[in-house]
Structure formats: C-alpha cells, structure tokens
Structure 1
Amino acid sequence: MSSDFILRTTSISHQMDFPVYVVLPGSGVGLRFGSPTPKQYTCVLNKPLFLYTVQAFHRFPWVHTVVVVVSPDDIFWVKEQLKKNNLTRVRVVAGAETRHRSIYNGVKALRDVYTGDAVVLIHDIVRVLAEESVIKDVALAAKQHGAAGITRPLTSTVIARDSDGFLSESLDRTKYLASEMPQGFQLDIINTAYEKASEYDFEFGTECLHLASKYTGTRVRLVEGPDSLWKITYRKDLFAAEGILRENLSSIFIEEGFTNQRENIMSSIAEGNLKVIQQLSPLL
C-alpha cells in the first residue's frame, strides 16, 4: 500500500472558520474495566487504545491542538507513544484526582494559545470512534450557542430505589436523554465555569454541560448523535471496538479500490503485523 493512498484518504476534510481545540481526559484507572492496566493503555491491534482517539482528532487539519490529560506517572511514556506515531499537534498535561480537575487542567493548558472565538471539545479518551460530521456538528453548535453536547435516546427505563432496596420511582424515559461525548464550549465559557465551580462540583460532578449552564447562564444546545458513540467501559467492549476498527479498514479498502489486496492486508492485521498496523492507523 502506497503512502499516496494514506495521504489521500486522510486529507478529506474541510477547514473551519474558527480555531478548535480538543481536551481528552485520560488519567483515570478504570475500576470497572477490571484490569491492572488502565483501559486507555490496553492494546487493540497492537496499539494502545488512547492512540486511536488522539489520531481520530489529529487527522482533521482544522483541529489546532489536542490536549491529552494523563496521570503524572504516565506522561513520559505517553509522549514517547505520540512521538512514535508522528502526532505533533498534541500537548500532554498532568491529570488530577477527579475528572473535573483533570479536565480543568486540560483547559488551562490552552490559555497561552487560544483566541477569543475558540471552541474546545471535551471527549473521553476511550471513545475511539470519532466521526468528523458529529464532531463538526458539536463544534458549530458550541460556536453559535456557547455550549453544546451530543445526546442519545435512553434505551432502558431509569428507576430509583429507596434506602431499603425497593423501587421508589420510575422515570418516563421519553422525557430524558443520555449525555454522550464530545461536548463543545466556547473556551471562555468553560474556563469561567471552572473558575466559579465549587469544591463539591470538582469532587462529585460529572457533567461539564451542567457547569456551563449553572455558572455562566449558557443555554446548552443538544445535538442528537449516532449510536457509535459508546465508550469502552468493560473488558468485553474491547472485542466490539476491535471488530469495528477492522470493519472500518475493510470499508476503506473497498471504497478506495484496494479490494484485491484486502484479504492479504487483513490477514497481516490479524497476525499482528506491526508495520501494516502502523501504516493504516491514521485511517482508523
């Protein structure tokens, strides 16, 4: 496979008329994942999971900078991985003990580079499937309204239990939505929200959109997203992610006229041929 194919496929992207930055929080340990290795560093097709997410944003020329927030102990190793994969528009900063504190560290890392009309996208580092159309929808909505987030309809009814373990309430799921990622903000808005946030918000809060609404009065625009926005939470999710990544490669071969080479290339990937995987990874 020629390098011309790689470049041609990865350059199909349109510019935005305002700067866009990305913050990827990834300093958690992933207790539900059930592994001594944090899920963001688990290998899929011979590559750490977090690299797929970084590359998904890095391939868009209109993304100015990607900020990866990791545990202080992992900074050197993460930088080495980024260097090996030629990911140049990336900053690595130290995370903190809670999710919101880590995200705020990522936002603060942009203070010396962003302009007043900038938008920052916050995205889970283990959501490896970042479609350009979805990302642009959120960025454009955030630019227009100040803050925006992707949502999906609830597929299960949400119930509450009392202190004795019995059903106390059942919510009408048609009135509620699942909040997904990415979420986008005018950079001044999310920075102000964090400056005003309470210690309780930093310790127990989970929703960035709520902080923007609560502390800046911003009306948050909700954008319905596709069903490919799930994040890797449990070990079984790795198998689904690997299957989707393989399927994406298969689609690329067919669309680009590489059908005759598809079987040989896919066999190389299945066998862990690192050279082939590194060559194709920007396409994922």
Structure 2
Amino acid sequence: MPKIIALVPAAGVGSRFGAQAPKQYVSVLGQPVLFHTLNVLNQSAKIDQLAVVLAPEDEYFDQFQWPFFKMLKIRAGGESRAQTVINGITVLLNQGLMQPDDWVLVHDAARCCLNLPLLNQFIDTIKEHSVGGLLALPVADTLKQADQEQHVQQTISRNGLWQAQTPQMFRAELLLEALTEADLNTVTDEASAIEQMGLSALLVEGMLSNFKLTFSHDLPLVEAILTARKKG
C-alpha cells in the first residue's frame, strides 16, 4: 500500500516577516512556528513519515528540540520553494525512503494552525483521487483589479475562484515530473505545476484558520488560535 510522506519545505528566509531569524523559527507560545506545524503532521496516524527540508546553511534548526518520532531532517533546500520540494523528493527517492507511487503531502512551514481533523479528512479524500489535490477556500470577498497607482480598474467576478492553501498531495513520481518540467518562474504551488501537465487537482474546502503566517502582525491571531485549541 502506498505510504503518505509529509514534506515541509523550510528553507525560506521569510523576508516579508521582518524578523532577525526566518519566520519558521519565530517563537509562538514558547515554541518556534515550525514546531507547531510539524506537531500536527506528526500527530496524524495517516502520515507515515515526516520530512522537513532545510537550507544547507540553516543554523537555527539544531538549536531546538524536535520530539517527533516520524521526522527526518534533510538539508537540501533550494533557492525557491519548488526547488526545495524537488530536492526533498529526490533525496527521499534516492535513499529508498519513498517509492514513486507514494503520496507526497506538501505543507507550508509557516502554516502552523492546521487542524488535525481537517488534515485527516483531506488525506482520506485525496488518496481516492486519480491525480491529487489541495486544501483551498472559495473566495468570499469582492475582488478589485488595480492599476500601478492603486486605482481600481475593474471588479473581478469571484465565481469559481478559490484561494489555495496547503497541504497539497500528489504521487511522488508525478509531482517530481511536474515540478522538473515546469517553468519554475510561474509555479507558485505544487498544484500549479500539475496544471501545466494538463491535469486537474481536486479542491477540498479548508478553513480560514489554516492561514499562512506572513507578517509580524499575524502573530497575535496565530497565538489566539493555538491557545484556543489547547483549551478546547
């Protein structure tokens, strides 16, 4: 039976966040952001292995304790998220830790409020799909297209529009082929590489709480969500 390998690309520097350290190492409730991200993945009984892909020169990761029995550390991060995922899958395949038909579940290092029941539901849904898929949210707000001076040019219909989240899950061989052959300048997530192959990923509705920590002013919301989850 194919395994499910969670792969977390954690080689970014998080320049928009504005902290001295990469945002995945910023402290939230006494632990780095990355700890909370890995924790929910490690808790899922449906995930067989957890691989975190770091920049080769990462000097922060080993300063922390990571009590996750499923976790593998791979120092093979690339210059982009896509290249980091390519490198991580390649290492896992070359070392025999993954087979071509295994599922790769890619999740953002800074998306640390993923809900465990949602994660398990997502996995159950996607593993029955022929291509794979991603968590996403239907766009709820009115969309405006602006000019270079931030004046409204037109209103964009939100019908059929979704906001992509992670996890995104595809077969290892398929995802590696898609990313390797894609124009990485146009690839913003794994699903966009799959699209360039002419394949359609399945959209599974996610949650607003599963947002990506991007700016420092996002931290209070992250703390509130994680605190409420502990109390619940």
Say yes or no: TM over 0.5: yes
Partner of 2:225: 244
- Please state if 1:78 is matched with 2:56: no
- Please state if 1:134 is matched with 2:118: yes
Partner of 2:81: 99
User: Which of 172, 191, 216 is matched with 1:235 structurally?
Assistant: 216
SS where residue 145 of structure 1 aligns?
coil
The percent identity for this pair of structures is: 25
Which residue identity is paired with 2:203? L
CA contact (8 A) 2:46 2:123 kept: no
Pairwise CA RMSD of aligned residues? Answer: 2.0
Structure 1 segments unaligned to the other structure (5+ residues): 1-16, 252-284
Which residue identity is paired with 2:156? L
Q: In the aligned structure 1, how far is the partner of 2:187 from the partner of 2:28?
A: 31
SS where residue 109 of structure 1 aligns?
helix
Q: In the aligned structure 2, how far is the partner of 1:108 from the partner of 1:209?
A: 18
User: Which of 163, 174, 185 is matched with 1:189 structurally?
Assistant: 174
Structure 2 segments unaligned to the other structure (5+ residues): none
Partner of 1:179: 164
Partner of 1:122: 106
User: Which of 21, 24, 27 is matched with 1:40 structurally?
Assistant: 24
CA contact (8 A) 1:39 1:126 kept: yes
CA contact (8 A) 2:46 2:120 kept: no
Partner of 2:7: 23
Q: In the aligned structure 1, how far is the partner of 2:213 from the partner of 2:222?
A: 8
* Post-superposition CA distance 1:137-178 (Å, at most 9, x none): 332343222221111122332222345654333211133111
Which residue identity is paired with 2:131? G
Partner of 1:258: none
Which residue identity is paired with 2:88? G
Give 1 or 2: higher helix fraction.
1
Give 1 or 2: higher strand fraction.
2
- Please state if 1:222 is matched with 2:207: no
Q: In the aligned structure 1, how far is the partner of 2:73 from the partner of 2:87?
A: 10
SS where residue 92 of structure 2 aligns?
coil
Q: In the aligned structure 2, how far is the partner of 1:49 from the partner of 1:68?
A: 13
CA contact (8 A) 1:20 1:118 kept: yes
Partner of 1:90: 71
Give the deviation of 1:232 after TM superposition: 0.9
Give the deviation of 1:244 after TM superposition: 1.7
Give the deviation of 1:79 after TM superposition: 4.2
Give the deviation of 1:31 after TM superposition: 1.9
Which residue identity is paired with 2:15? L
Partner of 1:209: 191
* Post-superposition CA distance 1:178-220 (Å, at most 9, x none): 11111111222101112322xxx223420211211222x3221
Q: In the aligned structure 2, how far is the partner of 1:170 from the partner of 1:92?
A: 45
Instruction: Specify whether residues 70 and 194 from structure 1 end up closer, same or farther in structure 2 by C-alpha distance, changes over 3 A only.
Output: same
Q: In the aligned structure 1, how far is the partner of 2:101 from the partner of 2:169?
A: 13
CA contact (8 A) 2:179 2:190 kept: no
Q: In the aligned structure 2, how far is the partner of 1:165 from the partner of 1:130?
A: 33
Instruction: Specify whether residues 225 and 153 from structure 1 end up closer, same or farther in structure 2 by C-alpha distance, changes over 3 A only.
Output: same
